[in-house]
Structures are given as C-alpha cells and as structure tokens.
Structure 1
C-alpha cells in the first residue's frame, strides 16, 4: 500500500469515526429512532471493514 493510500484510508477511518461519535451522542441524548440505529449499524460495519475485516460488510 502506498503512502497516499495509507493517508486516504486513515482519513476515511477518522471521518467515519467522527460520524459515529455524533450518532452515539444523539443516542445518548435519547434518540432511539430506527434511522439512527440503522446509520450506526452501517457505519460500524464500514469502520470494521476499513480496519481490515471486510466480512463485516456482509452482515
């Protein structure tokens, strides 16, 4: 993997983590909607795949 690819991957992981943090805060404040739960599940799967576990996307 090239340096550029590593930087891009690191940026994607940071961006996904920030988005997840926002959703976790919403849930902590009482947001129990199905849409928020689905977004969290999708982003958690994406983050897991970005971290080297591609089978997480199939779940």
Structure 2
C-alpha cells in the first residue's frame, strides 16, 4: 500500500528505484506498466491518467 506517494519525472529524465527488499520498487514499476490496477489516486503521463490509454498501445 502506497500512501501519500508522489513521483515527478521530467521529460527525458532517467530514474532508478532503489531500496531494501519489500520496499515497493517492483510494485511501483508494475503500477506504471498497468500490470496492477490501483483503487485510489492516479498515475499521470503528460497530465493524462494512464487508465485512459489503450493498454496494448500504452505498453
């Protein structure tokens, strides 16, 4: 469960998710890739909710 989590990545910027086992790195990656559906909040790319994208095109 992620509470009050915010991540802003500028266009062209690369990031790395690092942390201890169980910290949520893989969960964040899976949420961004839409392998998991989330129940609250939003994930936005260019200010558009990723749930509005066609899944096959998005991946």
- TM-score, normalised to structure 2, is 0.31
Greater Cα radius of gyration, structure 1 or 2: 1
- Comparing both structures, which one devotes a greater share of its residues to helix? 1
- TM-score, normalised to structure 1, is 0.31
- Comparing both structures, which one devotes a greater share of its residues to strand? 2
